[in-house]
Amino acid sequence: MTQTIAVAFTGASGMPYGMRLVDCLLAAGCRVWLLYSQVAQVVARQEMGIELPSRPAEVQAMLRARFKDEDGRLQVFGREEWFAPPASGSNPPDAMVVCPCTMGTLAAIAAGLAQNLIERAADVAIKEGRKLVLVPRETPLSVIHLENMLRLARMGVVILPPSPGFYNHPRSVDDLVDFVVARILDQLGVAHALQPRWGAATDE
């Protein structure tokens, strides 16, 4: 059965994590519903030199080409597209990931504000008991940040900071990105071969 995963890009640093995650989900045969904020467009340009258009249909065409999504499993929705599937508990995704996740988005989700499609989709995931993974990129963390994270963790939300390990001896930034994306995929139950498993036999 094909998994449907909603992925949201917000304005935190860490766009390479989000892009790599979408790439891996599509490669694994998942259906991806992509949501993105206006500030995410700025971050994509600054960190990756990617110009995300303002129109979701144009972003969809661009990313389908980028990820070679010939089957049309990637769908992109605008932040005010209230008739999009993830806006309703009658058609929720199997899981949702906000990657990267700003502290503002995290706070809004913790408060149940649901003022745009990203926040509403996360609200739906929580109320419908679906897996919700937040990848917050901020440092240092204030008491406000930590209390919001604790509040969400008590609801069953997975708080997964992008903190790559070094025990696999990464040789590039891509290796560090893959470490974090591998942890996200593990939370989603999506098979991958991005990193060797701890204690697994290697050829080295």
Q: Is 104 annotated as a binding residue?
A: yes
Q: What is the CA radius of gyration of the chain?
A: 16
Q: Is 167 annotated as a binding residue?
A: yes
Question: What is the DSSP annotation of 63-100?
Answer: HHHHTT-TT--EEEE-TT-TTSGGGSTTS--SEEEEEE
Q: Is 37 annotated as a binding residue?
A: yes
Q: Is 40 annotated as a binding residue?
A: no
Distance CA 56, CA 18 (A): 17
Q: Is 29 annotated as a binding residue?
A: no
Cβ(174)–Cβ(158) below 8 Å? no
Q: Is 12 annotated as a binding residue?
A: yes
Please enumerate in sequence order all residues whose Cβ is within 8 A of that of 77, keeping only pairs 6 or more positions apart, or say none: 33, 34, 35, 56, 84, 86, 117
Q: Is 105 annotated as a binding residue?
A: yes
Q: Is 199 annotated as a binding residue?
A: no
Q: Is 139 annotated as a binding residue?
A: no
List phi, psi (to 5°) of 67.
-95, 10
What's the residue count for the chain? 204
Indicate the annotated binding residues for dimethylallyl phosphate: 167, 183
Indicate the annotated binding residues: 11-13, 37, 102-105, 137, 167, 183
Indicate the annotated binding residues for FMN: 11-13, 37, 102-105, 137
